[in-house]
Structure 1
Amino acid sequence: MRKRVYTNYIAKHIQSYSPIYSFIMVLFVMGIIFGAVIVNSLSVVQKEDLFYYLTHFFGQVADGKTGSAEELLKLSFFHNVKFTGLMWILGISIIGFPLILILLFLKGVVVGFSVGFLVNQMGWHGLLLAFVTLLPQNLLFIPVYIFIAVISTAFSIKLMRKIFIRQGFSFYFVPEFARYSLSFIAAMAVITLAASIEAFVAPVLMKSIIVSISS
């Protein structure tokens, strides 16, 4: 029964904000494509330098010289909470919602560049590495980024409509802000799970793939 209520709530939420979701998702995909295109625009020297640092990092992973899982968990958690928290704060600031879109686009660029560079330099092995080391946690991180971007943009638009178009638009700040805050807390729970995958699962998968490629 509770699962059905949650499902109905999620479906209603997506339906209510479907135009914003569509725009945000297209923007994020454009960021990914742009990030992949940037890889091809790098010079040979730049690619060689980046790949040198990448292979050095892979060597550390293979030797087990990376940080502890607990440290990785903290780094990942706080990094993503700061990123989503910034978007959440920008939603309250009213005029900051364009920056929300820029932040999400840049996050897409980072994802696209990471995958594109691995594939460009390592071919199928790079694609496999990207699949096992970037995909598991990003299956949770990316929906959270999109969700926070949507609710932040929507909240900012509601505030602007309340301020500049007061007639015919009902907006009660306290309950709306309470829902807005609860949404961010729920997102933090998902971030915790995704950060745990990145800290405890991804390094093991990465090490196994690197060892198999090197042998």
Structure 2
Amino acid sequence: MVSKLITGMNKHIENNFWLYIISLLCICTGIVLGIYAVRYMGSFEKSDLLSYINNFTNVINKEGINSKAILFETIKNNMLLIIGVWFLGLTMIGIPAILIIDIIKGFTIGFTTCFVVNGMGVKGLWVTLLGVLPQNIIYIPCIMFASVLAMEFSIHLLNDKGNIRVKNSIWVKISSYSFSFVFVVCIMFIGFVLESYVTPNMIKLVVERTGSLLV
């Protein structure tokens, strides 16, 4: 079964190679934009964000980590994104919006990583490696796969617009398309658990060892 899954994934990547490249480029563009956004932020905005991080440190030290609340928030945020991509794939004109979502996701990663390293120095590298990177190793491929699935489906809808035979089997195609998204969500749950139970404790370990996240 694993062999069939790997073969299917390889075939999907081969058949949609340029869609994967476009999705990856959009995520990378977002990362670059996020980095530049931090570099050109005003001192007032940076000060506000650093104060937020300092408050986060105090909460960790005093109250501990509410992993269940983090898990609920993580699932809510990511499910909204995945459902949005799934819906856009059904619209025939959703490809530009899907690519914008990829850029926004990249922007979030780039902004967070750059700000953390910029504001915390060496500690920021540890926070990035332990608190940002682990879940995004899972999220980014999943979002790319979901984006390509949605763009591929949207393209097929446009190409088959006037085909009556295809229209009769559209619900079968939508069911298969939706099942693929269920598979993506199942994989993303590994990231949800990491983000909720593992990475906060890693950050807490850094806080306990250093006393604060701030330089």
Instruction: Give the TM-score taking structure 1 as reference length.
Output: 0.92
- Work out the CA distance in 1 between the residues paired with 2:123 and 2:178: 42
Corresponding residue number in structure 1 for 2:8: 9
Deviations 1:72-131 (A, max 9, x none): 112111211111111100110111221111111011101100000011111221111011
Corresponding residue number in structure 2 for 1:82: 80
- Work out the CA distance in 2 between the residues paired with 1:51 and 1:105: 25
Equivalenced residues, count: 211
Runs of 4+ in 1 over 6 A off after TM superposition: none
CA contact (8 A) 2:30 2:103 kept: yes
Deviation at 1:198, TM superposition (A): 0.9
Residue identity in the other structure for 1:46: E
- Work out the CA distance in 1 between the residues paired with 2:129 and 2:63: 21
Residue identity in the other structure for 1:191: M
Corresponding residue number in structure 2 for 1:210: 207
CA contact (8 A) 1:91 1:152 kept: yes
- Work out the CA distance in 2 between the residues paired with 1:202 and 1:38: 25
| 2:188 counterpart of 1:188 | no
**Aligned mate of 2:196, from 192, 199, 208:** 199
- Work out the CA distance in 2 between the residues paired with 1:33 and 1:123: 19
Corresponding residue number in structure 2 for 1:47: 46
- Work out the CA distance in 1 between the residues paired with 2:58 and 2:93: 46
Match of 1:56, SS state, is helix
Residue identity in the other structure for 2:184: A
Q: Could you tell me which runs of 5 or more consecutive residues in structure 1 were left unpaired when the two chains were aligned.
A: none
Corresponding residue number in structure 1 for 2:17: 18
- Work out the CA distance in 1 between the residues paired with 2:108 and 2:175: 32
CA contact (8 A) 2:26 2:103 kept: yes
Deviation at 1:8, TM superposition (A): 0.8
- Work out the CA distance in 2 between the residues paired with 1:209 and 1:65: 14
Which region of structure 1 is more displaced relative to structure 2, 119-128 or 106-115? 119-128
CA contact (8 A) 1:34 1:109 kept: yes
Aligned-pair RMSD on alpha carbons?
1.9
Corresponding residue number in structure 2 for 1:117: 115
| 2:175 counterpart of 1:178 | yes
Residue identity in the other structure for 2:191: A
CA contact (8 A) 1:61 1:203 kept: no
Match of 1:111, SS state, is helix
| 2:149 counterpart of 1:156 | no
CA contact (8 A) 1:77 1:191 kept: no
CA contact (8 A) 1:137 1:195 kept: yes
Deviation at 1:19, TM superposition (A): 0.7
Deviation at 1:150, TM superposition (A): 0.7
Corresponding residue number in structure 2 for 1:145: 143
Corresponding residue number in structure 1 for 2:95: 97
Deviations 1:2-54 (A, max 9, x none): 22111111111111111100110011011001101100110111111111111
- Work out the CA distance in 2 between the residues paired with 1:153 and 1:124: 40
Corresponding residue number in structure 2 for 1:71: 69
Match of 2:160, SS state, is helix
Q: Percent identity?
A: 27
- Work out the CA distance in 2 between the residues paired with 1:49 and 1:71: 24
CA contact (8 A) 1:87 1:152 kept: yes
Instruction: Give the TM-score taking structure 2 as reference length.
Output: 0.92
Deviation at 1:170, TM superposition (A): 6.6
